[in-house]
Structure 1
Amino acid sequence: MIINSANIFDSLPKDLSLEVFEEIIHTSAIRIERIISKGHSSPDTGWYDQDENEWVMVVEGKATLEFEDGSKRELSTGDYINIPAHVKHKVVQTDPNQITIWLAIFYKS
């Protein structure tokens, strides 16, 4: 049996000129990622429109999400949100003064 073990705060990249997406687990039913941001946002045009549901938690830091209907949701350390498949959304901003660590779980219904 292979057991994968780590700490969500380990091996944080020093260069955050680009947002970092790291796959932790990927199976046919679920995908788990650690995302590391610092002052990043989604591109000005377009939305995330995913075939999977996404449960996402801000483990550390702050971020603001916007949805296609114009609503916004501010998330800070410990906050989480479940975004159903095909609910269009984007990241308006992440804190430019500190690292934001996300835990994102993508799953099918």
Structure 2
Amino acid sequence: MRDALPEEPQAEELVEILMEGRGLRLERIVSTGQATPEDDWYDLAWDEFVVLVSGAARLRIEGEDEDRALEAGDWVLLPAHCRHRVTWTQTAPPAVWLAIHHEGALSRREAEAE
């Protein structure tokens, strides 16, 4: 089921948990101009795979010299404790993200060994 996207900028991002299970959470995030405060960083205890479904955004990863410009279809894998922040999101149309939070991915070699 698909919820309608906001037609105007919102005060906060819309975060909707689409699925949650043992060691896994899938979120739909709708951003309408929001950004992480300049002195704040996400430092998550789990891996995060993010796909920008629509719109545009910029992401800063600690230690990189420039923001990463993201457009629809772009994705980023952020390992646990990779400090990052959103520096800009498109207002209209909104930036729509799918974020998969998980406890840690196995490498292909590790998965084949199991």
TM-score range with shorter-chain normalisation? 0.7 to 0.9
What is the CA RMSD across the aligned residues, in angstroms?
A: 1.4
Give TM-score, length-normalised by structure 2. 0.82
Give TM-score, length-normalised by structure 1. 0.85
Deviations 1:9-43 (A, max 9, x none): x3324562211111111112100000001111001
AA paired with 1:31? R
Specify the alignment match of 1:11 in structure 2. Answer: 4
**CA–CA distance in structure 2, aligned partners of residues 14 and 21 of structure 1:** 16
Task: Note the residue ranges of structure 1 that are not aligned, 5 or more in a row.
Answer: 1-5
**CA–CA distance in structure 2, aligned partners of residues 97 and 32 of structure 1:** 24
Structure 1 residues 10-19 or 26-35, which shifts more? 10-19
**CA–CA distance in structure 2, aligned partners of residues 61 and 13 of structure 1:** 13
The count of residues paired between Structure 1 and Structure 2 equals 102
Specify the alignment match of 1:3 in structure 2. Answer: none
**CA–CA distance in structure 2, aligned partners of residues 13 and 28 of structure 1:** 31
- Structure number, greater radius of gyration: 2
- Report sequence identity in percent: 35
| Larger helix share, 1 or 2 | 2
